[in-house]
């Protein structure tokens, strides 16, 4: 069972853990380029797994009021607000989705905005204008919400705002595609959203260090805590290179995503993937997901999204590849992910060796101390 | 209207602070002055342990060191060293057991630790080492009560105590050093990176604290070996500590800052003073006792200092991100993941205008 790569390197974890005729390894591919930040995954996970409330905190970190993966949050949607990038043409090319956002040339001129947005094009934010324009262009569908009084009020507000400041943000979402009209150009701004989850590592630090055997490898290659065995020693918490698994305070035990072990055994899709409205979270056989992800990243690169990259898909990485991997649009640490995680137990043989040496030195010191002249 | 935040300003404020929003320049072998993070939040989680764990690091080391002292005393006919060592080891082992169980999230399930023997888990290995040690040290400690017992029991207990004492001494070096592996086998940067030196630090600390028991409890006529042990232990603790605190670049930094910095500094001073006192206070019982106390306090400070430094390194994402970035850079561009040059505008996404 235990092979040369049992502790580090590419591996199919279920057979290595002793399963005979294990089913294919299952996993998640989370494509952040289509995540809309709806948090349906967070809610569905809590519902299905009966995960307790994690507090009603307002963190002031964009729309993220969850904060991170904890014992009480097994899916976490990260929100990153980024300024666009400067361009040589003085045109708002920082727009994330649409290349040049000011095709009409009406706005997006470079200004002297200080701070993080220095030198970036700035114009009136799109939303209010877009809403105002939309209120006049969207045909009356006869349904709610159609073009009603609410839209007129919005239009009035947007008009007032533009008179006053031309850059007031009213907090209202637009209903038109950004950049469609010259009055509603793309902003010098982009959102990154990512639904984070346990990576179900090929070489899982949490599982390696668990002293009770509460953490185990399932036949699907995933990593699950048996809550009836966990005694809350907490060792798995600092062992995880992604900071996923966590000890629940009132309960004392460690908890994390199970990849819906109780669902996938019955051929069901995990709750988060089932609830995801944009298929940002895709569940399936890991081999197939990896192929799909490679195609997706190639497509995006072709379309000019050169910053698209896969994270955790490589079986040669420091954790032997993740069972749940991601397509990201920026560097991993921007999303709170480690740029180069390595399972801590890779170095365990070396650690034991050093400890053995230290133990020998200790014994020798004691012997020598007592061998000296009697007094 | 004035209360409505300007979108750009609020974005800037929310962008995780200046350190995380500034862009990094060309990658080089020089440690980047800056890094990016998600709102400055930690990447790895700090261990959820309370003061029980560093307290156990000390009592476990003390038990190991004093059992070695006791075995040495028994082997060379120094009854005061033997007695002090065995009684201390028994007390320290009992305290260790309490700390270990009390820190569990589910203390009533402590026995689950004995479900498996798992070499990949230093805590599992440590449980078995601790159990074996505790059995030996327990018998040896109880045997010290033999003079108070009737003759028949005494005759049974004394050889058992001798055997238990040697058994404990045989497992003591493992007990004192496995805790270093326990801390190092985590993703906590300031515990993992110094793994080559941490066991020597803990071994030295254990020897010094064990020897301190001899300095405090034994008459000066018997303390010569304890003195040598104290000096050697203090020297090892100081030397290995110096490496842990200085040889590991960025992840050595938490050992100099905040609570950990204060503790490590106190540990250095106390251990050095204790070592010098042990060396010079040959004839003075007072100096011996003071040296012993200084060594014990130094050992406590070392354990709490290392513990706190690790927690601090986990709480700040810079200790996770920057070394990993350096590692990627050192591996070379061929192997590094594809990066976008920072000045290239992010081009069309899936929602292109007019799509």
> pLDDT tens across B96-121, in order?
999 999 999 999 999 999 999 999 99
- For residue A157, what is the nearest residue in chain B, using CA coordinates? B1
User: Among A102-111, A147-156, A363-372, B54-63, where is mean pLDDT lowest?
Assistant: A102-111
* CB pairs < 8 Å spanning A and B: 362
pLDDT attached to residue A190 = 85
Sign of CA dihedral A38, A41, A47, A52: negative
Residues 15-74 of A with CB under 8 A from B: 33-34, 59-62, 64, 67-68
Helix (H, G, I), strand (E, B) or coil at A117: helix
B151 to chain A, closest Cα gap in Å: 31
Are A365 and B236 a contacting pair at CB < 8 A?
A: yes
Give CA angle at A68 (A66, A74), nearest 5°: 90
DSSP state for residue B340 in the 8-state scheme: -
Confidence band, pLDDT 50/70/90 cuts, at residue A89:
very low
Are B105 and A348 a contacting pair at CB < 8 A?
A: no
Residues 212-271 of B with CB under 8 A from A: 221, 224-226, 228-229, 232-233, 236
- For residue B338, what is the nearest residue in chain A, using CA coordinates? A309
pLDDT attached to residue A55 = 82
Residues 6+ apart with CB under 8 A from B185: A209, A239, A344, A345, A347, A348, A351, B122, B192, B195
Q: Is residue B246's pLDDT more than 70?
A: yes
Are A359 and B203 a contacting pair at CB < 8 A?
A: yes
pLDDT attached to residue A99 = 36
- Taking contacts as CB-CB distances below 8 angstroms, the residues of chain A near B123 are 209, 211, 233, 235
Are B353 and A177 a contacting pair at CB < 8 A?
A: yes
pLDDT attached to residue A7 = 87
User: Among B21-35, B54-68, B255-269, where is mean pLDDT lowest?
Assistant: B21-35
Q: Is residue A131's pLDDT more than 50?
A: no
Are A243 and B45 a contacting pair at CB < 8 A?
A: yes
Q: Helices marked H in chain B — which ranges?
A: 7-14, 17-21, 52-75, 79-102, 122-143, 151-184, 189-192, 198-217, 224-246, 258-280, 285-315, 318-331
- The residue among B39, B110, B212 with the most chain A CBs within 10 A of its CB, best to mutate, is B39
- Taking contacts as CB-CB distances below 8 angstroms, the residues of chain A near B121 are 208-211, 235
**Chain A contact present for B110, CB below 8 A:** yes
Sign of CA dihedral B190, B194, B197, B203: positive
Q: How far apart are CA A34 and CA A212, in angstroms?
A: 40
**Chain A contact present for B166, CB below 8 A:** no
Residue range A309-331, pLDDT digits in tens: 999 999 999 999 999 999 999 99
- Taking contacts as CB-CB distances below 8 angstroms, the residues of chain A near B72 are 366-367, 369-370
Q: Is residue B198's pLDDT more than 60?
A: yes
Q: How far apart are CA A155 and CA B205, in angstroms?
A: 73
A144 to chain B, closest Cα gap in Å: 25
Q: How far apart are CA B17 and CA A294, in angstroms?
A: 34
DSSP state for residue B120 in the 8-state scheme: T
Average pLDDT of the segment spanning B255-275: 97
Q: Is residue A133's pLDDT more than 80?
A: no
Q: Is residue A77's pLDDT more than 60?
A: yes
Residues 6+ apart with CB under 8 A from A35: A77, A193, A194, A195, A278, A280
Helix (H, G, I), strand (E, B) or coil at A61: strand
- The tokens for A324 are 């749940």
- Taking contacts as CB-CB distances below 8 angstroms, the residues of chain A near B173 are 358-360, 362-363
Q: How far apart are CA A199 and CA A222, in angstroms?
A: 9
* B230: nearest Cα among B204, B248, B256: B204
Q: How far apart are CA B307 and CA A19, in angstroms?
A: 38
Phi, then psi, of B217 in degrees rounded to 5: -100, -25
CA A277, chain centre distance (Å) = 16
CA distance to A347, B35, B235, per residue, from B169 (Å): 28, 48, 21
Strand locations in A139-293 (E): 189-197, 215-217, 223-225, 246-247, 254-255, 281-285
Residues 125-144 of B with CB under 8 A from A: 127
Asked if A323 and A201 touch (Cβ cutoff 8 Å), the reply is yes
Give the ipTM of the model, two decimals please: 0.85
Asked if A102 and A113 touch (Cβ cutoff 8 Å), the reply is no
Average pLDDT of the segment spanning A158-171: 50
User: Among A57-66, B184-193, B203-212, where is mean pLDDT lowest?
Assistant: A57-66
**Chain A contact present for B326, CB below 8 A:** no
Instruction: Tell me how crowded residue B171 is: count the other CB atoms within 10 A of its CB.
Output: 22
* B183: nearest Cα among A86, A175, A209, A343: A209
pLDDT attached to residue A71 = 96
**Chain B contact present for A322, CB below 8 A:** no
Q: Is residue B268's pLDDT more than 70?
A: yes
Element (H, E) at A164: helix A149-164
Q: How far apart are CA B209 and CA B305, in angstroms?
A: 16
pLDDT attached to residue A103 = 33
Asked if B312 and B257 touch (Cβ cutoff 8 Å), the reply is yes
CA A282, chain centre distance (Å) = 13
Asked if B215 and A267 touch (Cβ cutoff 8 Å), the reply is no
Q: Is residue A57's pLDDT more than 60?
A: yes
Average pLDDT of the segment spanning B240-248: 97
- Taking contacts as CB-CB distances below 8 angstroms, the residues of chain B near A57 are none
Are A366 and B69 a contacting pair at CB < 8 A?
A: yes
Between residues A209 and A60, which one has the greater pLDDT?
A209
Confidence band, pLDDT 50/70/90 cuts, at residue A151:
very low
Q: Which of B112, B226, B343 sits opposite A229 (nearest CB)?
A: B112
Q: Which of A171, A210, A240 sits opposite B45 (nearest CB)?
A: A240
pLDDT-above-70 percentage for chain B = 84
B109 to chain A, closest Cα gap in Å: 5
Asked if B314 and B47 touch (Cβ cutoff 8 Å), the reply is yes
- For residue B46, what is the nearest residue in chain A, using CA coordinates? A238
Residues 257-296 of A with CB under 8 A from B: none
Average pLDDT of the segment spanning A271-299: 97
- The tokens for A96 are 């994330």
Residue range A93-125, pLDDT digits in tens: 333 333 333 333 333 333 333 444 444 444 333
**Chain B contact present for A112, CB below 8 A:** no
Are A359 and B207 a contacting pair at CB < 8 A?
A: no
Average pLDDT of the segment spanning B226-248: 97
Q: Is residue B14's pLDDT more than 50?
A: no
Element (H, E) at A325: strand A324-328
pLDDT attached to residue A237 = 97
Residues 115-174 of A with CB under 8 A from B: 115-117, 122, 125, 164, 167-171
- The residue among B43, B81, B231 with the most chain A CBs within 10 A of its CB, best to mutate, is B43
- The tokens for A165 are 């400041």
Arithmetic mean of pLDDT over chain A: 81
Highest mean pLDDT among A133-147, A157-171, A196-210: A196-210
Residues 6+ apart with CB under 8 A from B68: A362, A363, A366, B85, B169, B172, B173, B207, B210, B229
Q: Which of B124, B346, B353 sits opposite A307 (nearest CB)?
A: B346
DSSP state for residue B151 in the 8-state scheme: H
pTM of model > 0.90: no
H and E: helices and strands count for chain A: 10, 10
Are B45 and A237 a contacting pair at CB < 8 A?
A: yes
* A347: nearest Cα among A318, A322, A321, A323: A318
């Amino acid at each position: 069972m235990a092979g040369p790569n049992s502790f580090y390197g590419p591996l199919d974890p279920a057979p290595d853990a002793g399963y005979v005729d294990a089913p294919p390894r299952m996993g998640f591919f989370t494509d952040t380029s289509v995540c809309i930040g709806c948090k349906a995954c967070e809610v569905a996970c809590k519902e299905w797994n009966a995960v307790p409330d994690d507090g009603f905190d307002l963190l002031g970190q964009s729309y993220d009021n969850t904060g991170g993966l904890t014992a009480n949050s097994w899916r976490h949607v990260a929100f990153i607000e980024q300024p666009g990038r400067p361009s040589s043409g003085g045109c708002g090319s920082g727009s994330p989705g649409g290349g040049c956002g000011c095709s009409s040339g009406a706005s997006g001129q470079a200004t002297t905005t200080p701070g993080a947005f220095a030198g970036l094009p700035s114009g009136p934010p799109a939303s209010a204008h877009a809403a105002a324009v939309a209120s006049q262009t969207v045909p009356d569908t006869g349904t709610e919400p159609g073009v009603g009084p609410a839209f007129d009020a919005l239009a009035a507000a947007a008009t007032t705002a533009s008179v006053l400041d031309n850059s007031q943000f009213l907090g209202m979402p637009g209903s038109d595609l950004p950049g469609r009209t010259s009055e509603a150009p793309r902003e010098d701004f982009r959102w990154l959203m990512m639904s984070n989850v346990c990576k179900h590592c090929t070489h899982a630090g949490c599982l390696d260090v668990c002293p009770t055997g509460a953490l185990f490898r399932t036949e699907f290659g995933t990593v699950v805590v048996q809550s009836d065995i966990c005694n809350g020693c907490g060792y798995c918490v600092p062992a995880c290179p992604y900071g996923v698994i966590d000890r629940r305070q009132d309960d004392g035990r460690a908890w994390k995503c199970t990849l819906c072990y109780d669902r996938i055994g019955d051929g069901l899709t995990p709750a988060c993937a089932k609830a995801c409205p944009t298929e940002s979270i895709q569940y399936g056989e890991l081999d197939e997901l990896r192929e799909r992800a490679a195609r997706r990243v190639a497509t995006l690169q072709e379309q000019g999204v050169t910053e698209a990259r896969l994270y955790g898909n490589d079986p040669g990485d420091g954790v032997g590849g993740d069972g749940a991997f991601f397509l990201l649009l920026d560097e991993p640490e921007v999303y709170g992910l480690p740029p180069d995680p390595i399972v801590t137990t890779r170095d365990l043989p070396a650690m034991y060796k050093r400890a053995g040496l230290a133990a020998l030195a200790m014994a020798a010191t004691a012997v020598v101390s007592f061998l000296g002249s009697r007094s | 209207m004035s209360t409505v935040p300007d979108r750009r300003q609020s974005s800037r404020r929310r962008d995780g602070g200046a350190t995380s929003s500034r862009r990094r320049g060309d990658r080089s072998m020089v440690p980047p002055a800056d890094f990016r993070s998600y709102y400055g939040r930690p990447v790895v989680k700090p261990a959820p342990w309370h003061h029980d764990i560093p307290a156990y690091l000390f009592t476990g080391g003390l038990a190991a060191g004093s059992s070695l002292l006791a075995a040495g005393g028994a082997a060379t006919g120094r009854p005061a060293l033997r007695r002090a060592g065995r009684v201390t080891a028994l007390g320290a082992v009992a305290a260790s057991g309490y700390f270990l169980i009390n820190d569990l999230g589910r203390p009533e399930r402590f026995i689950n630790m004995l479900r498996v023997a798992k070499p990949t888990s230093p805590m599992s290995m440590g449980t078995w080492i601790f159990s074996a040690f505790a059995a030996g040290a327990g018998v040896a400690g109880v045997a010290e009560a033999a003079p108070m017992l009737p003759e028949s029991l005494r005759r049974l207990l004394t050889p058992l105590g001798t055997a238990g004492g040697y058994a404990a001494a045989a497992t003591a070096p493992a007990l004192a050093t496995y805790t270093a592996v326990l801390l190092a086998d985590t993703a906590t940067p300031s515990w993992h990176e110094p793994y080559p030196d941490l066991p020597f630090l803990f071994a030295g600390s254990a020897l010094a604290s064990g020897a301190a028991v001899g300095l405090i409890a034994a008459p000066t006529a018997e303390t010569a070996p304890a003195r040598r042990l104290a000096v050697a232990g203090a020297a090892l603790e100081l030397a290995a500590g110096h490496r842990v605190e200085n040889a590991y670049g960025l992840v050595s930094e938490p050992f100099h800052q905040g609570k950990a910095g204060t503790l490590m500094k106190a540990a250095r001073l106390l251990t050095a003073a204790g070592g010098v006192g042990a060396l010079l206070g040959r004839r003075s019982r007072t100096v011996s006792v003071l040296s012993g106390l200084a060594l014990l306090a130094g050992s406590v400070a070392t354990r709490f200092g290392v513990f706190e430094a690790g927690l601090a390194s986990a709480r700040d994402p810079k200790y996770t991100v920057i070394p990993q970035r350096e590692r990627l850079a050192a591996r070379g561009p061929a192997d590094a993941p594809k990066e976008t040059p920072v000045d290239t505008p992010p081009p069309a996404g899936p929602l292109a205008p007019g799509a």
